[in-house]
């Protein structure tokens, strides 16, 4: 087994070894980059769910986030537009508190994304 590998590698070829090491390093960098972009995408979705659990789940049922409460209306089949949802989140409605001083615009956007797909 070891002999076979030794025979396969060209002997005394520092250029070949350097090329081999470079390829391995580039592969690792590429693979890492791939992992990082994949993770940051997951974080965006995760954020919306986390935000919902922290700020909305105490009152609303929304299956997507495994949240169940009937203080406020069920949000599973919302018929209102994204603009209206944003308006309600920012300024509240009836017994729902307003969140304009609690959530920043990125957080509101993450929440809105939850309702989009
Ligand atoms: C203290 C309880 C409470 C919390 C917390 C709360 N809501 Fe509400 N929400 C309500 C109530 C009550 C209503 C109904 C208001 C009305 O129509 O008078 C409502 C209405 C809504 C509506 C409109 C539903 C419809 O069918 O028209 C949306 C969308 C909504 N809430 C989203 C959210 C989001 C997103 C959060 C988290 C940022 C949140 N709510 C947090 C109580 C709450």
Residue 41 domain boundaries: 28-116
Report the pLDDT value the prediction gives residue 95, as an integer from 0 to 100: 96
Distance (Å, rounded) from C-alpha 1 to C-alpha 20?
20
Q: Which residue's alpha carbon is nearest to atom 11 within ligand 1?
A: 72
How many folded domains does the chain comprise?
Answer: 1
Report the pLDDT value the prediction gives residue 22, as an integer from 0 to 100: 93
Residue of 51, 73, 85 best suited for mutating to test ligand 1, as the one with most atoms within 8 Å of CB: 73
Burial zone of 61 (CB within 10 Å; 0-12 exposed, 13-18 middle, 19+ buried): middle
- The model's pTM: 0.72
Partners of residue 67 on adjacent β-strands: 62
The CATH number given to whatever domain includes residue 60 is: 1.10.760.10
Which stretches of 1-116 are DSSP H helices?
2-8, 14-55, 82-91, 105-116
Q: Which residue's alpha carbon is nearest to atom 37 within ligand 1?
A: 56
Report the pLDDT value the prediction gives residue 27, as an integer from 0 to 100: 87
Residue 34 lies in a domain: yes
Residue of 57, 60, 92, 101 best suited for mutating to test ligand 1, as the one with most atoms within 8 Å of CB: 60
Residue 106 lies in a domain: yes
Residue 15 lies in a domain: no
pLDDT of the chain, 117 residues: tens digit per residue: 566 666 666 566 888 889 999 999 988 888 776 666 665 555 555 589 999 999 999 999 999 999 999 999 999 999 999 999 999 999 999 999 999 999 999 999 999 999 986
Distance (Å, rounded) from C-alpha 71 to C-alpha 60?
7
The finding on whether 50 has its CB within 6 A of some atom of ligand 1 is no
Distance (Å, rounded) from C-alpha 109 to C-alpha 100?
12
């Amino acid at each position: 087994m070891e002999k076979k590998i030794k025979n396969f590698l060209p002997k005394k070829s520092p250029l070949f070894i350097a090329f081999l090491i470079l390829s391995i390093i580039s592969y690792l960098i590429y693979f890492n980059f791939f992992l990082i972009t994949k993770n940051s995408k997951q974080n965006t979705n995760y954020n919306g769910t986390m935000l919902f659990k922290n700020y909305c789940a105490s009152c609303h049922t929304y299956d997507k986030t495994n949240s169940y409460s009937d203080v406020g209306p069920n949000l599973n089949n919302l018929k209102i537009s994204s603009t209206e949802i944003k308006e309600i989140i920012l300024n509240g409605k009836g017994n729902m508190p307003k969140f304009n001083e609690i959530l920043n615009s990125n957080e509101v956007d993450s929440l809105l994304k939850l309702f989009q797909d």
